[in-house]
Structure 1
Amino acid sequence: MKLSRRDGIFLVIILALITVLVLNRGSEQGKPLPADDAHRPFSEALARGADRETTEQGCVRCHATAARPLPPGHPPKEQCLFCHRPAPATR
């Protein structure tokens, strides 16, 4: 089976698109959730199977204040754990 020029161009475009998607995978990932005393309860709750949305309410309690503001241009703070992966729970 011989590919036409049009099929070849289509194949090259598809392969280029797949390559770009694979190389950019995870590039928007935020910093990991810090493994400090302030964040450890949230990592442990998630490890126990707590609901992500309920756990994120704890993020808003601290980061909605002027004491720990989010950087300019930060995405909505209601979706913290989409980007910030929790640290492994330690015992």
Structure 2
Amino acid sequence: MKLGKRDVLFLVLIVALVAVLARHRGSEQGKPVPLDAVHRPFQEALANGAAREATEQGCVRCHATAARPLPPGHPPKEQCLYCHRFAAPRH
């Protein structure tokens, strides 16, 4: 069976679409949560099975203050760990 020009064009378009989707996968991800003394208790709580919703209350308590405000245009602050992940520990 011989491939026609339309078949080749279709395959090229499919490959290009898959490449674009793979390249942009995870581009909506926010900055990682730093692994410092302030954030480490929250990472440990999640690792020990604490609920994400309960853990995010710590984020809201700290980042809702004037000392550590969220940047302008930041989405709702009640869902921090949907976008922000903890940075991988350094060995």
Separation in 1 of the partners of 2:65 and 2:33? 18
Q: What secondary structure, in the 3-state scheme, does the structure 2 residue paired with 1:60 have?
A: helix
1:38 and 2:23 matched: no
Paired residues in the alignment total 89
Matches within 5 A, 1:1-91: 1-87=1-87
Contact 1:33-1:87 at 8 Å conserved across structures: yes
Deviations 1:17-68 (A, max 9, x none): 1101111222222221111222111000011111112211111111112221
Contact 1:43-1:87 at 8 Å conserved across structures: no
- Aligned structure 1 segments of 4 or more residues deviating by more than 6 angstroms: none
Shift in alpha-carbon separation, 1:7–1:16, aligned structure 2, 3 A: same
Separation in 1 of the partners of 2:8 and 2:2? 10
Q: CA deviation at 1:88?
A: 5.5
% identical aligned pairs: 74
> TM-score scaled by structure 1?
0.82
Question: Structure 2 stretches of 5 or more lacking a match?
Answer: none
> TM-score scaled by structure 2?
0.82
Separation in 2 of the partners of 1:36 and 1:47? 16
Separation in 1 of the partners of 2:6 and 2:53? 48
Q: CA RMSD in A?
A: 1.8
Partner AA of 1:9 in structure 2: L
Shift in alpha-carbon separation, 1:49–1:88, aligned structure 2, 3 A: farther
Q: CA deviation at 1:87?
A: 4.1
